[in-house]
Amino acid sequence: MKKMFVGFSIFIAAIFYVFLAKAAIAADDENCLMCHKYIKMGRITEEGERKYYYVDEEIFSKTVHNRVKCRDCHSYIEKLPHDPVKEGVQCNSKCHSIQNPATRKDFDHNNIYDVYMKSVHGREKVAAKEVDKDKPYCIFCHTNPLYIPHEIPNADGTVRSAEVPAAIADRCDVCHQKREFVEHRYLHTARRILSVKRSPQEVVELCLTCHGNEEFLERHEKLHEGEGKHLGKKFTFAGEAYQESFHGKVTKYGFKEAANCLSCHAKSENYYLAVHDIRSSKDPESTTHKNNRVNTCGKCHTDANKNFARIDPHPTERKDDNPFIYYIANVYGPFGDMVTYALLGLTILETIGRKRDGIAWVLRRGSTWRKKSKRGRDRR
């Protein structure tokens, strides 16, 4: 009897275990999670920056890289436990664990990587030159937010839902039978369709993390000058000036139809390639090159011609940027002040004069002349 009870308890516990325990999800053949599953795993660098080494298996299993083995990207790890990491992830390496279903070759990001390397932002992971260190590497924009729990993207503090809606999965299930397959494919496609593209507002915010940081921009400009190159005259304040333009004002508050940074600075043919192909306006291939501006503006402003393309999309009243308007503003401002004070003066004068003449400052009922004049003007 006692044995039966123990056996039954074990059976019940086993059932609970099967139903409640998390299923092993990610492909962790290398057993990295042996250590990286611990939540407290991390350190604080000498600069005071927090580094997290914790990987939440459940979250990672829902990211785009869930089928990629850790060492496909972290290829410098050769033994366990591994040495302190110095290099970081390179995004142009081959993923041996994933095949490109179209070509049957090892998957890589090199198409986009090559385009990016030619753009004005392009740089190696470990930048050789001091100037290049200011430029963004892939992971600056591609934060893979679900991978790092403290970098949760939604404004209200919630994690982006990566659950597959049952109503959809049930339907796929009917033919595809394997729920795991269905969920994986659904997430793969859904992520690309729904959430991978930043909203115009987010694009501007992203660009402004560097292009709106005055200290950073000035240092970068100095570094460039040290190399004997000259950046555009608007380089240090273009972002800030854009925010003050009509495009910037409405985009800042979530309007989606006005031009954001990418609308003009990236080509329009293939958005995903083009955003990696931002070039200097001195480059004849650039959308912002003098010869291409009419076309670029014409994407939205259908009536655009050469005259229209002269209009400054990053307007300021700075003396070094637009001396013409700087001097006009300096005449117009005092003129406005003068008018205001002149009118105020006349108003005060009139009030004093009329009060002295014996006018009542009361609700009118018939005549307004109630009091005696202080000038002794009342003959009767």
Partner 1 sequence: MRLSEDAKKVLNATIAINKTSEKDRKELEELIEMMPDDRVLLYKNVDSNPVGDLPRYSIHIRAQHLMMFISFLLLAFTGLPVHYNETFWAIPFNKLLGGIYVTRIIHRAMASIFIFAAVYHILTLVFDTLLKIKNKRFDWRRTVIPHLKDAFDIRDDIFYFLGKKDQRPEMDKFAYKQKIHYFAALFGNTVMMVTGATFLFPDTIARFNPLPADYVQSVTRLFHPHEALLALIVIAFWHWYNVHFAPGRFPMQWTFLTGRLTREHQIEEHFLEYLRNLVEMPSERVYLKELLLKKKLLSREAEARIRTLKPGFESD
Query: In angstroms, what is the minimal distance from the CB of 351 to partner 1?
Result: 6
Q: How far apart are CA 100 and CA 68, in angstroms?
A: 12
Backbone angles phi, psi at 99, to 5 degrees: -105, 145
Window contacting partner 1 (CB under 8 A); options: 2-10, 140-148, 265-273, 294-302: 294-302
Q: How far apart are CA 3 and CA 45, in angstroms?
A: 56
x/- letters, 335..364, toward partner 1 (CB under 8 A)? -x--xx--xx-xx-xxxxxxxxxxxxxxxx
Backbone angles phi, psi at 52, to 5 degrees: -105, 130
Cβ closest to partner 1, residue 228 vs residue 366 = 366
Calculate ∠ Cα 309-314-319, nearest 5°: 110
Q: 10 Å Cβ neighbour count for 181?
A: 12
Query: In angstroms, what is the minimal distance from the CB of 233 to partner 1?
Result: 14
Judged by CB under 8 A, the residue of 113, 283, 304, 318 near partner 1 is 304
Q: What is the DSSP letter of 191?
A: I
Decide: is 327 part of the binding site for partner 1 (CB under 8 A): no
Cβ closest to partner 1, residue 35 vs residue 258 = 258
Residue type, 244: E
CA separation (Å) from 258 to 200, 246, 255, 289, 300? 8, 8, 7, 21, 9
Chain centre distance of CA 180: 33
Is the distance from CB of 258 to CB of 250 less than 8 angstroms? yes
Cβ closest to partner 1, residue 7 vs residue 353 = 353
Cβ closest to partner 1, residue 172 vs residue 325 = 325
Residues 41-100 that bind partner 1 (CB under 8 A): none
Residue 134, phi-psi category: left (phi > 0), alpha (psi -120 to 50), beta (remainder) = alpha
Judged by CB under 8 A, the residue of 86, 155, 302, 376 near partner 1 is 302
Query: In angstroms, what is the minimal distance from the CB of 237 to partner 1?
Result: 15
Window contacting partner 1 (CB under 8 A); options: 18-26, 126-134, 270-278, 334-342: 334-342
- DSSP three-state, residue 299: coil
Query: In angstroms, what is the minimal distance from the CB of 306 to partner 1?
Result: 9
| Binding-site ranges for partner 1 (CB under 8 A) | 246, 249-250, 252-255, 297, 301-305, 307-308, 310-312, 315, 317, 322, 324-325, 328-329, 332-333, 336, 339-340, 343-344, 346-347, 349-369, 373, 375, 377-380
